[in-house]
Amino acid sequence: MIKKFIITGMLCLVATSINAQRKTLSLNLQPKEDTTVSPIVKEKVEEYAAKINTIIQEEKKLMESELLVLQAKNLDKVDFDKQKAQVADSYSEKIDQRIEALGFDLDTVIQKQVRYSLLNSDVASNEELKQKLMKKFRATKDFSGYFSYGIMTLTNDKPDNDLDKNLGYANNLEFGLKFNYQFSRTSPWGLISGLGFSWRTVRPDNNMVFAKQNGEVSLSKFEGSLDKSKLRTGYLMVPLGFQYNFSKLRNAGMDIQYRPYSDGFRVGANVYGGIKMSTNNIVKGNDQNFRDRSNYQVNPFVYGAQVTLSYDNISIFVKKDFSNFFKDSYFQNDKALVFGVALGW
């Protein structure tokens, strides 16, 4: 069961990341190959070039006719070359005058190309341009995929129990979807929530394993050589909190300002809650190997708080459970404390 959730979650994460990348491309400046020339600019330049070519061809025919007349006069080479140059200068000046008379507005064409490069769209007025900019640089409201890994320990305020004395390496692997909701285009504050899958693994040390007898869970010495012993529990997690972004306001033009929500340095704080999906006790030794997915008295519900420091797409975090790792009287008051790194949070 736990493998199905993991595979499904990872597929969702990849699909969301790809979709998010597509959305990012549609909002930011377009790639060079997509925004080389505006269709309107291209049409006007081609029309202008065609008119210039027509003018040149017309004047060229007239000039060639005049040169034929000049050639028929049988002038010596010096006089012929001199008068030929005068004819060429005369027609060059006529071509320049006719091209200037076309009234090609280069500034307008350049302005259209700049707007197209910014928005990948031809706009006909300042009002339309402002609407496009406001739509492009609106407040962030989206889902993004995240992945995190942390080193986990168990803390309590009571005398050490068997697990405390024999705790080896423990970790927390998590992935899911983060919901980002910026309060306004210029606001540094935003709401964070989402849905994730947390995979918590506890490994006993000193050749100990989790054992169960008559429903009672305890640590027991493994007879023989022990290669692997770990208790893995999966939780479906929901965070809820706030994020503050220290990025400065940016100017998009047309008196429109915005603040990037997912860029730069950010601080976030949230609470979280989760429900257990499965537990798996994995033991591997040279005499026996087994996986037991029955009840090992791990708490079916978890809740706690998390503080996160982020820069662009990388984060570090501290996560502390307020709920006990095990329920009832098993390994009393042990609570998970996780230090980790995340991508996309």
pLDDT in the model for residue 41: 64
236: CB partners within 8 A, 6+ apart: 5, 195, 196, 197, 198, 274, 275, 277
Q: What is the mean pLDDT of residues 21-28?
A: 38
- Cβ-proximal residues to 78 (8 Å cutoff; 6+ apart), any chain: none
pLDDT at 74: 84
Picking from 35-49, 78-92, 317-331, which range would have the lowest pLDDT averaged per residue? Answer: 35-49
The mean pLDDT of 163-182, rounded to a whole number, is 95
β 167-182/189-204 pair status? antiparallel
Confidence at residue 329, expressed as pLDDT on a 0 to 100 scale: 85
User: Is 120's pLDDT higher than 60?
Assistant: no
In the chain, % of residues over pLDDT 70: 81
Determine the Cα–Cα distance for residues 221 and 210; give it in Å rounded to an integer.
9
pLDDT band per the 50, 70, 90 thresholds, residue 108: low
Average pLDDT over residues 241-263: 89
Least confident of 36-50, 135-149, 167-181: 36-50
When pLDDT is cut at 50, 70 and 90, the band that residue 20 belongs to is very low
In this model, does residue 324 exceed pLDDT 80? yes
Whether the pLDDT of residue 29 is over 70: the answer is no
* 192: pLDDT strictly greater than 50: yes
| Residue that has been written with the tokens 């000049």 in this structure | 70
Give the residues across from 228 on adjacent strands: 284
DSSP letter string, 109-145 = HHHHHHHHHHHSS--SSHHHHHHHHHHHTPPPEEEEE
What is residue 130's predicted lDDT score, i.e. its pLDDT?
A: 77
pTM: 0.64
DSSP 60-97: HHHHHHHHHHHHTT---HHHHHHHHHHHHHHHHHHHHH
> Between 282 and 20, whose confidence is greater?
282
Interval 211-243: pLDDT, tens: 998 889 999 998 888 889 999 999 999 999 999
pLDDT band at 106 (very low <50, low <70, confident <90, very high): low
Neighbouring C-beta atoms of residue 193, cutoff 10 Å: 16
Query: Which tokens hold the place of 16?
Result: 């969301």
The average pLDDT across 330-342 equals: 95
Q: Percent of the chain, pLDDT > 90? A: 48
CA distance 49 to 37: 15
CA distances from 50 to 54, 91, 179 (A): 6, 19, 53
Of 206, 218, 202, give the one whose Cα is nearest residue 337: 202
Give pLDDT, residue 73: 83
pLDDT at residue 46 above 70? yes
Closest CA to 9 of 232, 171, 147, 197: 197
pLDDT value for 3: 47
Confidence band of 202 (pLDDT split at 50, 70, 90): very high
- 227 contacts 284 by C-beta, under 8 angstroms: yes
Dump pLDDT digits (tens) for 69-95. 888 888 888 888 888 888 888 888 888
